[in-house]
């Protein structure tokens, strides 16, 4: 029975990045078979693992699948799996899985719409989010206020924000006249509200913000607001190869699960904005 490094299994299982898992192990937050784990531990499928005292479902290499969803996030959803305020989350409408779970590649704040990527492969998610990958993100932004050529140049050269210098690697006028205009801008990082804060630093108000591209993946026109679409295996493996990952066998999806997923896909409806969940008292 093949064993694997503990932090690698945890990362693949979607608990967090490999670096985070190493830190958690070092902090004593992970237990294996009742004993506090330590860096260097290896486990197999017989191991009972807990994180912060809670059992976790583990995905080992032989069982792991590599599937990818493109999701068009509507306004009003939060990017957490469970929200203490009971707001709608980006996970609520995703298709259920018989094995593993959907892992979000990055986040979008509640007031930002557009492209979110989900995968069942923790290693692919970590590769897409790691700073060393130098993945750019493109946003369509509607702004209220005058934007001069000097302002655009300043945004490209860099602005000192409260958490350090930030800039757009590219920013271009897209459409509109009058007070509201659309621009497309590109950032290399995923800092909290970075795009909004950059525009606001120049006295320009952002009225709408939508992510349209994450690295090589664009938001397709047929994925309407509030809906998802699964990428074909060929595209998924092409993405994994681009990120330097080894190929995997195509996911084994039972006919019944595939039919259920296709029905869910066809039943989807456009949802541009989501309100708070109804309370059942």
Residues tagged active-site = 109
Q: Do the strands 68-73 and 113-119 form a parallel or antiparallel pair, or are they unpaired?
A: antiparallel
């Amino acid at each position: 029975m093949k064993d694997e490094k503990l932090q690698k299994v945890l990362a693949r299982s979607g608990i967090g990045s490999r670096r985070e898992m190493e830190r958690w192990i070092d902090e004593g937050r992970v237990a294996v078979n009742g004993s506090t784990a330590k860096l260097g531990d290896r486990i197999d499928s017989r191991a009972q693992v807990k994180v912060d005292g809670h059992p976790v479902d583990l995905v080992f290499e032989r069982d792991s699948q590599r599937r990818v969803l493109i999701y068009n996030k509507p306004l009003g959803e939060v990017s957490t799996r469970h929200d203490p305020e009971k707001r709608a989350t980006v996970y609520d409408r995703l298709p259920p899985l018989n094995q593993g779970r959907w892992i979000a590649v990055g986040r979008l704040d509640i007031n930002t719409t557009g492209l979110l990527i989900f995968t069942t492969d923790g290693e692919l998610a970590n590769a897409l989010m790691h700073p060393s990958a130098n993945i750019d993100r493109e946003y369509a932004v509607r702004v209220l206020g005058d934007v001069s050529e000097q302002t655009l140049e300043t945004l490209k050269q860099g602005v000192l924000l409260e958490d350090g210098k930030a800039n757009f690697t590219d920013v271009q006028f897209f459409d509109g006249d009058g007070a509201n205009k659309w621009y497309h801008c590109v950032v290399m990082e995923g800092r909290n509200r970075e795009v909004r804060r950059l525009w606001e630093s120049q006295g320009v108000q952002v009225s709408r913000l939508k992510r349209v591209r994450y690295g090589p993946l664009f938001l397709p026109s047929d994925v309407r607001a509030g809906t998802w679409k699964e990428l074909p295996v060929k595209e998924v493996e092409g993405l994994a190869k681009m990120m330097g990952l080894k190929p995997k066998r195509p996911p084994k999806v039972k006919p019944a699960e595939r039919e259920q997923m296709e029905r869910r896909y066809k039943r989807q409806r456009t949802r541009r904005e989501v309100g708070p969940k109804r309370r059942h008292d």
